[in-house]
Each structure stands twice: as structure tokens, then as C-alpha cells.
Amino acid sequence: MQAARLTGPGQFDLVEMPIPQPGPDQVRVKLEGCGVCASNLGPWAGPEWMQFPTEPGAPGHEGWGRIDALGAEVTGLQAGDRVAFLGQHSYAGYDLAPADQVVVLPPELDGPFPGEALGCAMNIFARSGIKPGMRVAIIGIGFLGATLTRLAANEGAEVIAISRRPESLALARRMGAARTIEMIDHYQIIEEVRTLTDGAFCEVAIEAVGLQWPLDLASELVGTHGRLVIAGYHQDGPRQVNMQSWNWRGLDVINAHERDPATYVAGMQRAVRAVAEGRLDIAPLLTHRYPLADLGAALDATRDKPEGFVKAWVEC
């Protein structure tokens, strides 16, 4: 099989590898595709701590496809099942996964399905504690922010979406945002949200960018005793926070990233139901498709966000 690996900053190659054999409690998935996660941009940039080359198939982790082999101890799954799963080497023709980290896709979900990314969004939403009638600010309308906008609007919340690109704000409106604000001026945004909420600000603010300024902005948009949800991927260095303000206003601060595989799988299962039942349409979010041989272009697009970009995926 072919597998991609990162070989240096902004560089990758394709290597021929033996098709892996599943262990007793694993399944082997013949991959159809893999979503490109923004967390891959750190390794792609080649920071000092990064060691090249990566393992073949890494860091692809949003794969889906069909089971074609099962370990001797696996029950409840069968060859031919179309699945999403928690993998670590999914920029490849095949990947392995523990059987308990696999979610079967129903026949009606016959298109691309980056289950890990959708499970992440479902778990962030669950941790956010959003209820009908709440005012919710979402900072950063990419794949994650747009998905959270739809989930919050479905719940009956009034979503204020804040993002840089006009097309991202248009997407937020299509996903159910009640208000949109262009992310240009920090203090202007604060004053606009103050006006929209009659000075009370938001019960929940979700930061979905992973940078210092959006975190600062989200912190300012939460009302007293509100909830600040950190959904952005903050892995490029330390952050500063205004602890005096957080403390005085009695904020609940939620780091909404999960690391327990069982929690991830539960989120993926909820995502499958939401998409199958028509409560979440992911087709407008999967905007850019690339062959595995163009993984570099997919990563560059994830970084540079060309016109119309929301999320890239590669065909395996």
C-alpha cells in the first residue's frame, strides 16, 4: 500500500508499505479518505521539536473506510462494514484501529465522514452546557466553529458568530447564527456584543481558533458567572490570561479537549445520529478534496484558506 509521511518542513513523500495485519482486538480498515486536521499544521511547519520523517500514514487521524480484516477476538463487527474510527496513520491505503474505537456508519451516510473531527465537535458542544435561550458567542468559524454554530442553534441558543473572513460569516448565518461580527477590532467587537446583550454579555463564549487574541476576546465576551469554553488547539506555546478578570467575574473555564477514547467514540456516535437524522449537514463543510499524492496541497490549503475553504480531505 502507499502511505504518506512528512519528511521535513513543508515536505512529504509517498512510500510503499506492507499492508498491516490486525492484532487480536483490532480491525483493519481499507481507507476511503481522511480529513485534514488543523493540528497537522504544527508538524507541517517543522518546529524544532519535530522529528522527521513521521511514521508512514501519520499524522492522519480522521479516517473512514471499510473493514476488510478482523482480529480473532473481535465481535460485533464484520468485513464490509463502513466505519469511521480513531486511527493514527490514516494518510495511507489502510490503517488499524482497536475494535472499540470504531463506529459503524449507516447506509444513508455514503459520503465523506471525518468521524474523529465530528466527534470532537459533539464533545465540545456537550461540555459547553448550552441551553435554549442562551446567548452564545463563537469565535472562529472554520469547520469546528461552523459545526458548533449549527449545534447551538439547534439547541435554541442565540449564536453570535465572530470571524475574520466575510465568507466565514456567511457560512455561520447558513448554519443558524443569529448575528455575525467581523473580527477586526477587539474593542469594537466587545462594544457590539455589549449592545446586543443589553450589557449582560454571553452565558457561553467558545474560542475555536487556538491563538492568543481570540482567547482574549472570548474571555471578554462572557458575562458574570458565564462559561468560557476553550475549543481551539493551543499547542504552539504558553498563553497569558487575565486571571484578575476571570476571578472577579466567577467564570467557569472549560478546556473542552477530550483524551479518553471512549468519550471520543461516544461523540462520534452522536455525530453519526445527528447527520443521519438531518440535524447536521456536513456537505457544505467538506469543501476541498485532494488525492493522497497531493497531501502537501491539502495541508497548504488548510493553512492558507483559499476562497471558499472550510475543510480539506484526502482520498486514500
Under DSSP, the state recorded for 101 is G
Kindly report the average pLDDT of the chain as a whole number: 97
Q: b or e along 183-218 (b: 16 or more beta carbons within 10 Å of the residue's beta carbon)?
A: beeeeebeebbeebbeeebbbbbbbbbbbeebbbbb
In order of their start, the domains of the chain are 2-114+286-315 (3.90.180.10), 120-255 (3.40.50.720)
Q: b or e along 113-122 (b: 16 or more beta carbons within 10 Å of the residue's beta carbon)?
A: bbbbbbbbbb
Pairing status of strand 202-207 against strand 26-35: unpaired
- Tell me the one-letter amino acid at 156: G
Residue with cell 469594537: 188
Average pLDDT of the residues in 153-160: 98
Rounded Cα gap, residues 138 and 172, in angstroms: 10
Pairing status of strand 82-85 against strand 102-104: antiparallel
Q: Which of 246, 186, 190 is nearest to 211 (CA)?
A: 186
H or E segment at 269?
Answer: helix 261-276
Q: How many Cα atoms within 13 Å fall on the side-chain side of residue 33?
A: 19
Three-class SS of residue 23?
coil
Q: What is the pLDDT of residue 235?
A: 86
How many other CB atoms are there within 10 angstroms of residue 234's CB atom?
17
Q: What is the pLDDT of residue 236?
A: 86
Three-class SS of residue 168?
helix
pLDDT digits (tens, 9 = 90+) for 101-139: 999 999 999 999 999 999 999 999 999 999 999 999 999
Rounded Cα gap, residues 276 and 105, in angstroms: 9
Average pLDDT of the residues in 156-174: 98
pLDDT digits (tens, 9 = 90+) for 186-233: 999 999 999 999 999 999 999 999 999 999 999 999 999 999 999 999
How many other CB atoms are there within 10 angstroms of residue 33's CB atom?
22
Please answer whether residues 206 and 229 qualify as being in contact, where contact means their C-beta atoms are separated by less than 8 angstroms.
Answer: yes
Rounded Cα gap, residues 88 and 54, in angstroms: 11
Statement: residue 21 has pLDDT above 90: yes
Sign of torsion, CA 212 215 216 217?
A: positive
Q: For residue 156, which phi and psi values (nearest 5 degrees)?
A: 95, 15
Average pLDDT of the residues in 256-279: 96
- Tell me the one-letter amino acid at 162: I
pLDDT digits (tens, 9 = 90+) for 38-97: 999 999 999 988 999 999 999 999 999 999 999 999 999 999 999 999 999 999 999 999
Statement: residue 168 has pLDDT above 90: yes
